[in-house]
Structure formats: structure tokens, C-alpha cells
Structure 1
Amino acid sequence: MNATRDIEKPYAVAEQIGPLVRRVLARNPSPFTFTGTQTYIVGEGRDVAVIDPGPDEAEHLDALVEAIGDARVVAICCTHTHRDHSPAAAPLAARTGAPIAGCAPLILDDDGPRADASFDPTYRPDRILADGEALTGDGWTLTAIATPGHTSNHLCFALEETGALFTGDHVMGWSTSVVSPPDGDMTAYLASLQKLHERTQDSVYYPAHGPAVTRPRQLVRGMIGHRRQREKQIQRQIEAGRTRIADMVPHMYKGVDERLWPAAGRSVLAHLIDLEKRGITTRREDEWMLLARS
């Protein structure tokens, strides 16, 4: 993956990227966060909302406070609670007096290597938003869209006035989302993708990492197709005698940086669990087999 194919972005600077939307990029680039976490400030009037405040880093927090200025922060919204998304919520709330709203808290002991970031145990929301609940401010409305899959508590936020959708890690233009069990769920992820594909009102996606998505339904359709191809590829691996995930990944991800293979293995596991639910695979310890189809 090559960060240079994204535009040059300054860190800790508020950039106007669309109607009612500014972006502040956190200085936390990595193979899993691309150029870093993008925090969005919604609103141009007397009050604003902050989406995905990002990591608890002084430079980033100072930039957010400067960009907010004299506006009132109606809510600090988190799409989910990986450590690159929500840790700045509490210190930003302390500095602005704003409530924290959005996804539910989630703390898990993962059963494998973390693929993107571990969960944030400090996240304490003042308000948990259910699917369809809205936040309003001066000239803007944000509606929560439940999109479990990458994590069970993942939300997107729709800016009703402009057709923008803040997609967190659910849909990104630069990379597919990691789905890592036990909390990541491929069945839920695919259902959430289908849910977004059916939303014809969304004209642009603003993900937490990477460039804006200007043809969102086309991208989502392609992502669903990609996942269906992956599950067929997994079945072919099993048919070829590769019954362990560690044996499948090198063949399935030959052109991928080997540092990302643990993450790829987690998504393969998520696919296998989905196939197991559908009666296509079964397992014995760490070996997977295809069930005979009638």
C-alpha cells in the first residue's frame, strides 16, 4: 500500500473539504491507518460536531480546539472504539465541555493478533446512539447508521443536508476493512455493506482513513463482489488440501506485504466462520473442511 497515491495532507491543520465539513488529520500513519486518522468537524455556524476525535495526541487535540474556536461542540461522535478513533474523546470533552455520543462502549480480549488497533478501554459515552437516531446543530443534522461488522459497535453518520456519509472504517477507498473475530463478524459486515448499497441518498463517503469516495454505491457493490470472490477462493484452497489458515494466506495474498498477513488471516477466519454458519464449512481444531452439498 502506497500513501503517495493520496494527496499530500498537512497534519494538525483544519481543511475545508465539503459543505459543512472540515478535516483534521492526526499524525498516526501506519500500514493500517494509511496517512492517519481523519477527524471531521461538522458545521460552520455557532455549533459543531466532531466525528472520530482520533488518538490522544497533544498536537492533534490542539489543532481540533483551534479549529473549533468559539463554536459550541454539540457532540463528540465516535464510529467505533479502536484506539486510533476514540481515545481523544475524553480529553476533548474535558477541554470543550461537550458530551460524547455515538457507538456503544466495547472492551474485548481478542483471541489473535490485532490487525489494525486494539479497543479503547477508556471510552465512556454520555449518549449511545441507536440506528436512526439524530443529532442536530446550527444548519446540520447527523443521523446514526448502524453498520456492525468491522466491529460490533460500528456506526456511520449521515449528514442529511449534503448527502455525505462518514463511514469510519466500514468503507474506505484505499483499502478493504479488516474483519477480525471474535468481535468482527463477516456475516454482519456483508449485511451492513448491503444496507449502505441500498441508501441511494448518499453522494460521497468520508472515511476515517484515505480519500473521499465519490462513487460510493459503485465502490460498495465492488466490495461485496470482492468478498464473495474471497470466499470462493477459500473454498478452492480447502479443495487443494490447504486446510489451515496459515497455509491459505501465503497463496491468497501473494502480492501483499507480509506484515499484513496476520490481518489477512483474521479476515480469512471471519469468512470461514460465515461459511460455517451457512453450512458450507466445518472445522476440527485448526483445520477446516468443506461439507458435502446435497
Structure 2
Amino acid sequence: MPLLRADPLPPGVVQEVGLPGGPRIRRLRCGNAGAFTFLGTNSYLLGQGEVALVDPGPDDAAHLAALQAATAGERITRILVTHTHRDHTGGVPAAVAATGAESWGFGPHLTPPAEGGEGADHAFCPDHRLADGEALQGEGWQLRALHTPGHCANHLCFALEEAGILLSGDHAMSCSTSVVMPPDGDMAAYMAALARVAARPWHLLLPGHGAPLPDPGALLRGLLAHRHEREALVLRALRAHGPATAEALVPAVYGTLDPKLRRAAGQSLLAHLLKLAAEGHAMPAAAGGWQAAG
């Protein structure tokens, strides 16, 4: 996969990322680097004059100040969110207070707090809900919301179809694969949504983390192939080492791994196991863990 391991854009600096003849799009990266955020969360400013802000990022005063400076003399009139993880929506209340803009998204976080989930923003509820396929337009731009569950059940990508640009949130990133962690993450839903997006031609991918990626078709197809390959490895490891828990299968499937990512890897394998079980290829073992079916 043509992953971009570097992103030279410093936090708070504005980068013009639109394509010739298309709407104006600016990117700013928040300084919230981490194991799951790469070098930080991207925010995008769509249009000019009356601007839509895509993913305000976390609750970060410096990032909000940078967004306000980037739109000096303009108005942020809409706030669009790809999904309800705090590194994308934590900054919504402050952005709304500073701009008076209303928020748009698929809906609130779909997994109840009692059922767990990593990084969920249960406080967010959009002022306006966007359904799959719904169009939204502003000054000089028009996009279509694509419901792409898997990483998060309420995940949306925003497609600027005429320009061939996909604002992909965390569904597809240029810097790494996406984390799919049950209960809110669903591997079957993720792979189906990824296949849907990969089947369409795009000129530019603007991800939630990582640098913009031109001609992202190879990446999207590679991400889907990677999931199929990972699934085959999970089933092979289960046949060789099962019955086993998802965590116990991590070394066989991932090999050497950063300890900080081990738990997330186990959760990703659990997502694969749940998909395999639904398809009749795996099943819970009587003594605990999982085993191959048949």
C-alpha cells in the first residue's frame, strides 16, 4: 500500500489542498500526535467567504485559534463531523461558541457508554443529521455524505463528487490502516464500506490523519486486500493455535508489535473473529476463546 509515513505540515499552518477548478479546501493539523492519531487530527476548511469546517479536532485552544486565524474576514457557517471520536469532535462545543455555526453529522455515538468503546464522544449530537447519500452545498461547493461504518458506527465520508475528492475521516487514512474495535467497530461493515468507496474513482484523498494523497485508488484497494489477507491469517492462526483468545493470536498474526498497540491489535482480531463467526468460519470455544468451525 502506498502509505505516506511523513507529513511535513506543522500544526497550525494552513495548507491549500484543493484541485485546480475545484472548490477551495484548506487543511490545518492539530498538534495532538499520538499512537492512534499519527502526527495529529486534520481539520479542513471548505469554500471561501462562508466556510464549512470539517472535523474541528479535539478540544484544543491553539488549534481553534489557528482555525479562526485562517478564516479571518470569513465566516464558518457549518461544522461537519465525520464521526464521534473525541479527537474529531471534542472541539465542536468551543467551535460552535466561537463561530455560531451549526453542526452536521450522521448522529450521536451509536454504542451506549455502558458497552464500552475507545475514545467515544457520547456528548456530541449534531444540530442536523445527514443520511447516507444526502447532498449538502455551500458557497462554491457541493458534497455528498457517504455512510461508511466500521471504524465507528456513525462514520461519514464526504464526497466532492464533481472534483473527485474524498474527505475520508478515519475510514481510509494515508498514513496507516484504520483501527476497528468492537463493540462500535465492525469488521464486516468496515470491509463492505471500504469496498464501496474503493469501487469509485477519486483524484484526491483528504484523510482525518496523514497527508493528502493524490490518486488514492491503489491505497483503497490495498486497504481492502490487506483486510482480506489479515482475515486469512486469523483463520490460519486459529486452526494452528486454537482454541485461543483474540489477544493470544496477536503474535501469530502481527509478529513483533509496539506494546502500545497490542491491545488495539487484539481488538482488531476480535472484530475479524466476529465477522468469521457470522460467516460460519469460526465459533466460540467451549473452554473460552475461539476455534475454527468445521
TM-score by length of 2: 0.92
Q: CA deviation at 1:26?
A: 0.5
Map of 2:293 onto structure 1:
291
Map of 2:140 onto structure 1:
139
Map of 1:268 onto structure 2:
269
Gaps of 5+ in 1: none
Q: 4+ residue runs of structure 1 moved beyond 6 angstroms?
A: none
CA distance in 2, matches of 1:236, 1:99: 49
Per-residue displacement from partner, 1:198-217 (whole Å, max 9, x unpaired)? Answer: 222x2111001012222322
- Judged with a 3 Å threshold, the aligned counterparts in structure 2 of structure 1 residues 133 and 278 are, in CA distance, closer, same or farther, namely same
Q: For structure 1, which segment, 61-70 or 25-34, has the greater mean C-alpha deviation from structure 2 after superposition?
A: 61-70
8 Å CA contact 1:167–1:208 kept in 2: the answer is: yes
- Judged with a 3 Å threshold, the aligned counterparts in structure 2 of structure 1 residues 110 and 270 are, in CA distance, closer, same or farther, namely farther
CA distance in 2, matches of 1:108, 1:257: 30
- Judged with a 3 Å threshold, the aligned counterparts in structure 2 of structure 1 residues 144 and 113 are, in CA distance, closer, same or farther, namely closer
Map of 1:169 onto structure 2:
170
Specify the SS of the correspondent of 2:79.
Answer: strand
TM-score by length of 1: 0.92
Q: CA deviation at 1:14?
A: 1.8
Q: CA deviation at 1:86?
A: 0.5
Q: CA deviation at 1:111?
A: 5.5
Q: CA deviation at 1:164?
A: 1.0
Asked if 1:34 corresponds to 2:46, the answer is no
Q: CA deviation at 1:240?
A: 1.2
Map of 2:127 onto structure 1:
126
The percentage of counterpart residues that share the same residue type is 43
Q: CA deviation at 1:137?
A: 1.3
Aligned residue runs from structure 1 range 140-289, under 5 A: 140-200=141-201, 202-242=202-242, 243-284=244-285, 286-289=288-291
Per-residue displacement from partner, 1:128-152 (whole Å, max 9, x unpaired)? Answer: 1001112211111121111011011
RMSD of aligned C-alpha atoms? 1.8
Q: 1:71 aligns with which of 70, 74, 98?
A: 74
- Judged with a 3 Å threshold, the aligned counterparts in structure 2 of structure 1 residues 74 and 135 are, in CA distance, closer, same or farther, namely farther
Amino acid corresponding to residue 266 of structure 2 in structure 1 = G
Q: For structure 1, which segment, 97-106 or 243-252, has the greater mean C-alpha deviation from structure 2 after superposition?
A: 243-252
CA distance in 2, matches of 1:108, 1:288: 26
Gaps of 5+ in 2: none
Q: For structure 1, which segment, 270-279 or 152-161, has the greater mean C-alpha deviation from structure 2 after superposition?
A: 152-161
CA distance in 2, matches of 1:103, 1:244: 33
8 Å CA contact 1:52–1:78 kept in 2: the answer is: yes
- Judged with a 3 Å threshold, the aligned counterparts in structure 2 of structure 1 residues 88 and 171 are, in CA distance, closer, same or farther, namely same
CA distance in 1, matches of 2:116, 2:138: 41
Amino acid corresponding to residue 290 of structure 2 in structure 1 = W
Q: 1:52 aligns with which of 50, 55, 66?
A: 55
Q: For structure 1, which segment, 180-189 or 281-290, has the greater mean C-alpha deviation from structure 2 after superposition?
A: 281-290
8 Å CA contact 2:153–2:184 kept in 1: the answer is: yes
- Judged with a 3 Å threshold, the aligned counterparts in structure 2 of structure 1 residues 134 and 69 are, in CA distance, closer, same or farther, namely farther
Q: CA deviation at 1:221?
A: 1.2
Q: For structure 1, which segment, 268-277 or 245-254, has the greater mean C-alpha deviation from structure 2 after superposition?
A: 245-254
8 Å CA contact 1:87–1:122 kept in 2: the answer is: no
Specify the SS of the correspondent of 2:280.
Answer: coil
Map of 1:23 onto structure 2:
27
8 Å CA contact 1:140–1:160 kept in 2: the answer is: no
Aligned residues: 285
CA distance in 1, matches of 2:284, 2:114: 20
Q: CA deviation at 1:17?
A: 2.0
CA distance in 1, matches of 2:281, 2:6: 39
Per-residue displacement from partner, 1:94-118 (whole Å, max 9, x unpaired)? Answer: 111111002211153376673xxx1
Q: CA deviation at 1:124?
A: 2.3
- Judged with a 3 Å threshold, the aligned counterparts in structure 2 of structure 1 residues 260 and 111 are, in CA distance, closer, same or farther, namely farther
- Judged with a 3 Å threshold, the aligned counterparts in structure 2 of structure 1 residues 126 and 231 are, in CA distance, closer, same or farther, namely same
Per-residue displacement from partner, 1:17-76 (whole Å, max 9, x unpaired)? Answer: 2241101111100011011001000112x2111101101111001111111223232310
CA distance in 2, matches of 1:152, 1:113: 11
Specify the SS of the correspondent of 1:240.
Answer: helix
